């Protein structure tokens, strides 16, 4: 279980996240939703050690600050929205980095496990044919699938996603979410993802956490947490009416 207890993040004089608590159990897909600036991504950054925070983040009851980076990486994997790789690494090299936590030593030799996981990840994400291609020549969707393959190769228990399909076309968006759903279905794992697309949250999430200016506005089953009232309060508009109006254009 991954537990976040009264998490707060300050940046200068600004409180970005204020006393957020939640827990994720195996098999769950928690969607963190809310308007821009609500502190969604900051929560992910706190869990990954990217920002300083107060409060506690517990992995199976143990404070993650006391865990070694390598141990943490075996349990928590992250996929972010932007990837800018400066050098022309091949797809396979980037994916292989996902195995770092399993053989961080100086004289690390490749083991069969690593090979198998890298192959599997490349195949699952459909990047096997492009394994030797430079990541600089990939399209946005292919690059995101490369990093998805990396995190699959890392084989964590908890997958954190920070708007992973933010600038991707619908085809890739569906592809990436379908792959993650399939990954989750293998059991003994959980997903936490930050999304601003509420339709995606409702389609894929099992639970949702709605944030409003860094505070928890609602948490629970996706449809309970993201209901008409809570959304209207947080977004200051009738989200339901707007979404239905959008949908009517397709009829």
Partner 1 sequence: MNGTQEGFRAYEYILFAAAAILTAVICVCLGSVNVPLKSTAEIFRRAILGLDMPKELPASIILTVRLPRVLCVALTGASLSLCGAAMQGLLKNPLADGSTLGVSSGASLGAVIAIAFGISFPSLPFAGTMVMAILFAFISLLIILGLAYRLDFSLSTNTIILIGVIYSMFVSSAMSVIITFASNKLKQITFWTMGSLNGSTYANALALAAAFAIFGGILFIKARELNAFAVGEDNARNIGVDVKRTKLTVLICVSALIGVCVSIGGTIAFVGLVTPHAARFIAGPNHKRLLSASAFAGAIFLMLCDLAARTLLSPLELPIGVVTSLIGAVAFIIIFYRARGKSRGA
List residues binding partner 1 (CB under 8 A). Answer: 48-50, 68-74, 77-78, 80, 83-90, 92-94, 96-98, 100-101, 104, 106, 108, 110, 115, 118-119, 132, 134, 136-137, 147, 150-151, 154
The conformational region for residue 118 under phi > 0 = left, psi -120 to 50 = alpha, else beta, is alpha
We find the least distance from the C-beta atom of residue 171 to partner 1, in angstroms, to be 25
We find the least distance from the C-beta atom of residue 59 to partner 1, in angstroms, to be 14
Rank residues 50 and 236 by Cβ distance to partner 1 and give the closer one: 50
Rank residues 143 and 231 by Cβ distance to partner 1 and give the closer one: 143
Q: Hey, what are 38's tokens?
A: 């609500």
| Cα–Cα distance measured from residue 181 to residue 169, given in angstroms and rounded to the nearest whole number | 18
SS3 56: strand
Rank residues 72 and 198 by Cβ distance to partner 1 and give the closer one: 72
What is the maximal distance between C-alpha atoms in the chain?
61
What values do phi and psi take at 141, rounded to 5? -65, -40
Contact of 152 with 98, CB cutoff 8 Å: yes
Contact of 175 with 167, CB cutoff 8 Å: no
What values do phi and psi take at 6, rounded to 5? 35, 60
Number of H helices, E strands in the chain: 10, 10
Rank residues 73 and 231 by Cβ distance to partner 1 and give the closer one: 73
Q: Hey, what are 59's tokens?
A: 């992995």
We find the least distance from the C-beta atom of residue 14 to partner 1, in angstroms, to be 15
Residues 6+ apart with CB under 8 A from 243: 198, 199
Rank residues 85 and 243 by Cβ distance to partner 1 and give the closer one: 85
We find the least distance from the C-beta atom of residue 132 to partner 1, in angstroms, to be 8
We find the least distance from the C-beta atom of residue 175 to partner 1, in angstroms, to be 21
Rank residues 145 and 207 by Cβ distance to partner 1 and give the closer one: 145
We find the least distance from the C-beta atom of residue 88 to partner 1, in angstroms, to be 4
């Amino acid at each position: 279980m991954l537990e976040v207890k009264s998490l707060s993040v300050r940046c200068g004089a600004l409180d970005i996240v204020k006393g957020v608590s939640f827990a994720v159990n195996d098999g769950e897909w928690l969607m963190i939703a809310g308007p821009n600036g609500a502190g969604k991504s900051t929560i992910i950054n706190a869990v990954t050690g990217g920002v300083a925070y107060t409060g506690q983040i517990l992995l199976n009851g143990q404070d993650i600050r006391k865990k070694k980076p390598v141990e943490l990486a075996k349990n928590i994997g992250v996929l972010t929205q932007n990837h800018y790789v400066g050098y022309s690494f091949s797809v396979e090299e980037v994916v292989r980095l996902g195995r770092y936590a399993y053989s961080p030593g100086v004289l690390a030799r490749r083991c069969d496990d690593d090979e198998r996981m890298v192959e599997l990840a490349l195949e699952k994400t459909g990047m096997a044919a492009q394994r030797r291609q430079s990541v600089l020549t990939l399209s946005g969707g292919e690059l995101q699938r490369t990093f998805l393959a990396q995190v699959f190769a890392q084989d964590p228990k908890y997958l954190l996603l920070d708007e992973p399909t933010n600038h991707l076309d619908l085809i890739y968006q569906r592809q990436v979410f379908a792959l993650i759903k399939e990954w989750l279905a293998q059991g003994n794992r959980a997903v936490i993802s930050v999304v601003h697309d509420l339709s995606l949250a409702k389609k894929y999430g099992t639970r949702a956490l709605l944030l409003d200016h860094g505070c928890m506005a609602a948490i629970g089953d996706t449809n309970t947490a993201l209901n008409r009232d809570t959304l209207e309060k947080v977004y200051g508009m009738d989200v339901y009416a707007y979404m239905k109006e959008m949908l009517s254009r397709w009829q």
